[in-house]
Amino acid sequence: MSKQKFKTEVSQLLNLLIHSLYSHSEIFLRELVSNSSDALDKLKYLSLTDDSLKKIEFTPRIDIRIQEAGEGTLLVEDNGIGMNKEELADSLGTIARSGTKNFLETLSGDAKKDSNLIGKFGVGFYSCFMVADKVEVISRKAGEDDAWKWTSSGSTGFSIEAAERAAQGTTVILHLNETGKEYSSQWKVRSIIKKYSDHIAFPIHLHWEQSTGSGEEKKTEQKDEQVNAASALWKRPKTEITDEEYSEFYKTIGHDSEEPMLRIHTQAEGVLEYTTLFFVPKTAPMDMYQADYTPGVKLYVKRVFITDDEKELMPVWLRFIRGIIDSEDLPLNVSREILQQNKILANIRDASVKKLLAEFKKLSENEEKYAEFTAQYNRPLKEGLYSDWNNRDEILPLVRYKSTAVEGWTSLASYKARMPEEQKSIYYLTGDREEGLRKSPLLSAYTAKGYEVLLMDDDIDEFVTPMIGPFEGKDFKAINRSGAIDDLKTDDDKKKENEAEPVVEKIKTILGDTVKDVVASVRLTEAPSCLLADEGAPSEHLRQMLKAMGQAELPEAAFILEINPDHPVVQGLKNSSDEDLDSDIAHLLYEQALLVEGVSLKDPLEFASRINRVAAKAY
- In the complex, the residues that contact ligand ADP under the rule CB under 6 A are 31, 35-36, 39, 78, 80-83, 91-92, 96-97, 122, 124-125, 170, 255
- CA atoms of 562 and 250, how far apart (whole Å): 56
CB of 65 to ligand ADP, least distance (A): 15
- CA atoms of 236 and 477, how far apart (whole Å): 51
Which of 89, 557 has the CB closer to ligand ADP? Answer: 89
Which of 255, 382 has the CB closer to ligand ADP? Answer: 255
Q: Which of 230, 340, 305, 299 is nearest to 49 (CA)?
A: 305
Which of 283, 571 has the CB closer to ligand ADP? Answer: 283
* DSSP result, 181-230: GGGGSHHHHHHHHHHHHTT-SS-EEEEEEEEES-GGG-EEEEEEEE-S--
Which of 170, 307 has the CB closer to ligand ADP? Answer: 170
Taking the CA of residue 275 as centre, how many other CA atoms within 13 Å lie in the half-sphere pointing to its CB? 18
CB of 428 to ligand ADP, least distance (A): 41
* DSSP result, 479-523: TTBSSGGGGG--HHHHHHHHHTHHHHHHHHHHHGGGSSEEEE-TT
Taking the CA of residue 264 as centre, how many other CA atoms within 13 Å lie in the half-sphere pointing to its CB? 24
Which of 33, 500 has the CB closer to ligand ADP? Answer: 33
Which of 97, 474 has the CB closer to ligand ADP? Answer: 97
Radius of gyration of the chain (CA): 32
CB of 299 to ligand ADP, least distance (A): 17
- CA atoms of 431 and 408, how far apart (whole Å): 17
CB of 562 to ligand ADP, least distance (A): 56
CB of 4 to ligand ADP, least distance (A): 16
CB of 468 to ligand ADP, least distance (A): 38
- CA atoms of 570 and 395, how far apart (whole Å): 46
Which of 35, 480 has the CB closer to ligand ADP? Answer: 35
Which of 39, 445 has the CB closer to ligand ADP? Answer: 39
Strands of the sheet with 426-430, listed across from one edge: 406-410, 401-403, 453-456, 426-430, 476-478
CB of 230 to ligand ADP, least distance (A): 17
Which of 202, 401 has the CB closer to ligand ADP? Answer: 202
Give me the residue whose beta carbon is nearest to ligand ADP. Answer: 124
CB of 192 to ligand ADP, least distance (A): 17
CB of 148 to ligand ADP, least distance (A): 12
- CA atoms of 331 and 199, how far apart (whole Å): 24
**Cβ contacts of residue 156 below 8 Å, gap of 6+?**
5, 6
Which of 256, 462 has the CB closer to ligand ADP? Answer: 256
Which of 99, 528 has the CB closer to ligand ADP? Answer: 99
CB of 181 to ligand ADP, least distance (A): 23
- Let me know: does 150 contact 158? Beta carbons within 8 Å: yes
Q: Which of 575, 592, 584 is nearest to 499 (CA)?
A: 575
Q: Which of 328, 283, 276 is nearest to 297 (CA)?
A: 276
- CA–CA–CA angle 205, 53, 81 (5° rounding): 40
CB of 521 to ligand ADP, least distance (A): 58
- CA atoms of 252 and 203, how far apart (whole Å): 16
Residue-wise burial string across 80-96, b where 16 or more C-beta atoms lie within 10 A, e elsewhere:
bbbbbbeebbebbbebe
- Let me know: does 587 contact 511? Beta carbons within 8 Å: yes
